Amino acid sequence: MSSYNNNLGVTPLDKGYQFAVWAPNATAVHLIGDFNQWDESSMPMSSADGGVWWCECADAENGQGYKFLITTADEQKLSKNDPRARNLTNSAGHSLIFADDYTWETTDFTPAPLHEQVIYELHIGTFGKTEDSVGTFDSAISRLDDLAELGINTVELMPVNEFAGDLSWGYNPAHPFAVEQAYGGPQGLKRFVDAAHARGIAVIMDVVYNHFGPDDLDLWQFDGWQENDKGGIYFYNDERSDTPWGDTRPDYGRQEVRTYLTDNAMMWLSEYRVDGLRMDMVPFMRSVSGADDGSDNIDDAYSLIQQINQAIAQNYDNKITVAEDLHQHHFITDYADDGGCGYTSQWDAAFVHPVRNLLLSSNDEHVQVQTLVEAITHQYSQRPYARVIYTESHDEVANGQARIVEEVAPGEVDTDYFARNKGILAGALVLTSCGLPMLFQGQEFKQPGYFTDGDDIDWGRREQFGEYLQAYRELIHLRTNNQGDSAGLTGGFTDIVHTDNDNKVIGYRRFNEVNDKPVWVYLNLSGQHLSEYVLNGLPDSPRCLFAWQEGLATQEMKVNNNAVTLAPFGIAIFAG
């Protein structure tokens, strides 16, 4: 006689499938679907310990639709999707049985070492889009060769959970375990990860655990129970439920919800073989208001974060977790065994905000070199790669802001001198400073405007601004030590060797623990042309690896008694 096998969701059997769902306040649950013509009474489910309802269906087949019909304590009948469904017809439709029968072609992938990674954040819906339809995993695959040729070795996907509608940034997960059908569903995501790995590119998945929904949210009052007109078993039902996105904060103190979130995190790493997770807006997990003043901390969230990060560290090699926190706390990236949250790295507000302010300044007098020194040398948890550094992300190029080049020259990005030079300077700062460097889609070919989920990036700009793209390519190749002559840029050490606030010039040496192939970087942060300018700290007989002068990249720079010519916003990178 069969018995419940302790798995929630859908589990394949020798014949058919087992279905199980957590609904502790239900008085009855029936399984309905294509296999029983959606008959509401033919397939009652049995009650097991812990509020679980389960049954076996020998007639169920892969790809068929199903739902749970839940009878509540007050005799209402609720038709609900499986909270652990891997696939749905759409966010407002029904669950689909999904058998994991994908055959992986790349089976031995290992990400680049952390100190060599260059991250490229992208949005599936707009990244590979070539027509008026939504971009898909397959259309994104068609652009992976371009990223590999650029030198990118890690991509970070904005969330691909099933969300309401077809257009979204992804930060409104309606069905946390399912993959957005408009993008290509679970098989499409697996094809994308497989194709990325085949090209030597790791994949980081953006996940949202600070809230769910709020639209098309079947988890809401899932089995009919609730308190204070709030969300029921998956959510806090008191003031802790409140988020900027609705009363939809998960109940981190309830064991079933903790397991739900932990299993979700592990699913992306195991079933989809992604190489890391980036957790959205961690402050709204660990505190009610996100204000970070200690008055409304959620201790259960803190312990859950530790639990997830420890589970990943213990079960997987080379997989990372990244926090979007932006409050500049060391405890975010301190090891969990030492009382920290245990993230590998965190987005660094101490870099992006001062650097963007510097780049967007139209007056040289407002540029303070010491401010940049602090941004370049900032560090968390005594680990050089415990921070992600960037000037553009989905947040920084939207929400009332725009891309660096657009902010510098609104509506005139294609022709403006300052936009061109400051755009390259932004890339140089990100790719030569110590940390995990991150670019945002289109940054490498001067994409104008601001990010929306309905406007695709213009791939024709790769050819239109080929020399701009080439500059980014050369900087990325230096950052990853592609030619074997810039290992210092992969190292964890920075020495400031030159500061000139009068002329707005900074110079720094990047090196590793054995001082192998150190690199010297000099940046003119002003709009002034500097002739016969002496660079302090320059090595003997320096060899130019990269220079950006008057809007063009070169590897030729004359050095005479440590004196050079630096064009406005000029860049000079040397080897010893």
Q: Residue 536 gets which letter from DSSP? A: T
pLDDT, tens digit, 9 for 90 and up, residues 524-540: 999 999 999 999 999 99
Contact yes or no for 20/44 (Cβ under 8 A): no
pLDDT of residue 181: 96
The pair of structure tokens assigned to 425 is: 């300077």
The pair of structure tokens assigned to 161 is: 């959970």
3-state SS class at 358: helix
- Alpha-carbon distance of 466 to 27, in angstroms, equals 65
% helix, strand, coil for the chain, step of 5: 25, 25, 50
- Alpha-carbon distance of 119 to 515, in angstroms, equals 25
Contact yes or no for 95/87 (Cβ under 8 A): yes
- Alpha-carbon distance of 167 to 123, in angstroms, equals 11
Distances (CA, A) of 57 to 10, 30, 70, 242, 442: 10, 12, 18, 39, 49
Contact yes or no for 509/548 (Cβ under 8 A): no
pLDDT of residue 206: 98
Nearest Cα to Cα of residue 324 among 407, 432, 204:
204
- Alpha-carbon distance of 474 to 555, in angstroms, equals 10
CB atoms within 10 A of CB 477: 18
- Chain centroid to CA 107: how far? 23
**Helix (H) or strand (E) segment spanning residue 522:** strand 519-524
The pair of structure tokens assigned to 71 is: 């009878």
pLDDT of residue 293: 86
- Alpha-carbon distance of 286 to 292, in angstroms, equals 9
N- to C-terminal Cα distance for the chain?
A: 75
pLDDT of residue 5: 87
Contact yes or no for 192/145 (Cβ under 8 A): no
- Alpha-carbon distance of 237 to 251, in angstroms, equals 8
Q: Which residues of the chain have pLDDT under 70?
A: 1, 130, 132
DSSP assignment of 388-438 equals EE-S--TTTTSTT---HHHHHSTT-TTT-HHHHHHHHHHHHHHHHSSSEEE
Strands (E), 72-163: 77-80, 87-88, 95-96, 119-122, 154-157, 161-163
Q: Which residue has the tokens 């004196």?
A: 563
Q: What is the 3-state secondary structure (H, E, C) of 103-121?
A: CCCCCCCCCCCHHHCCEEE
Q: Which fold has domain 490-575?
A: Immunoglobulin-like (2.60.40)
Identity (one letter) of the amino acid at 392?
A: E
- Alpha-carbon distance of 22 to 9, in angstroms, equals 9
Nearest Cα to Cα of residue 447 among 473, 474, 468:
468
- Chain centroid to CA 187: how far? 20
Identity (one letter) of the amino acid at 391?
A: T
**Which residues have CB under 8 Å from 507's CB, separation 6+?**
496, 497, 498, 499, 520, 521, 522, 523, 535, 536, 537, 538
**Which residues have CB under 8 Å from 344's CB, separation 6+?**
114, 276, 320, 321, 322, 333, 385, 386
Q: Which residue has the tokens 């707005």?
A: 504
- Alpha-carbon distance of 334 to 383, in angstroms, equals 9
Sign of CA dihedral 111, 136, 177, 4: negative
The pair of structure tokens assigned to 386 is: 């415990």
Contact yes or no for 480/153 (Cβ under 8 A): yes
The pair of structure tokens assigned to 315 is: 């079960």
Structurally, at CATH architecture level, domain 9-80 sits in: Sandwich (2.60)
Q: Where along the chain do its domains lie?
A: 9-80, 490-575
**Do 9-80 and 490-575 show the same overall fold?**
yes
Largest CA distance in the chain: 89
Identity (one letter) of the amino acid at 73?
A: A
3-state SS class at 191: helix
Contact yes or no for 547/474 (Cβ under 8 A): no
pLDDT of residue 550: 83
CB atoms within 10 A of CB 46: 14
Nearest Cα to Cα of residue 15 among 58, 56, 54:
58
pLDDT of residue 291: 86
**Helix (H) or strand (E) segment spanning residue 351:** helix 349-360
The pair of structure tokens assigned to 447 is: 């994409």
- Provide the β-strand partners of residue 255: none
Sign of CA dihedral 408, 413, 418, 421: positive
pLDDT, tens digit, 9 for 90 and up, residues 91-107: 999 999 998 889 999 99
pLDDT of residue 100: 85
CB atoms within 10 A of CB 455: 13
pLDDT of residue 101: 86
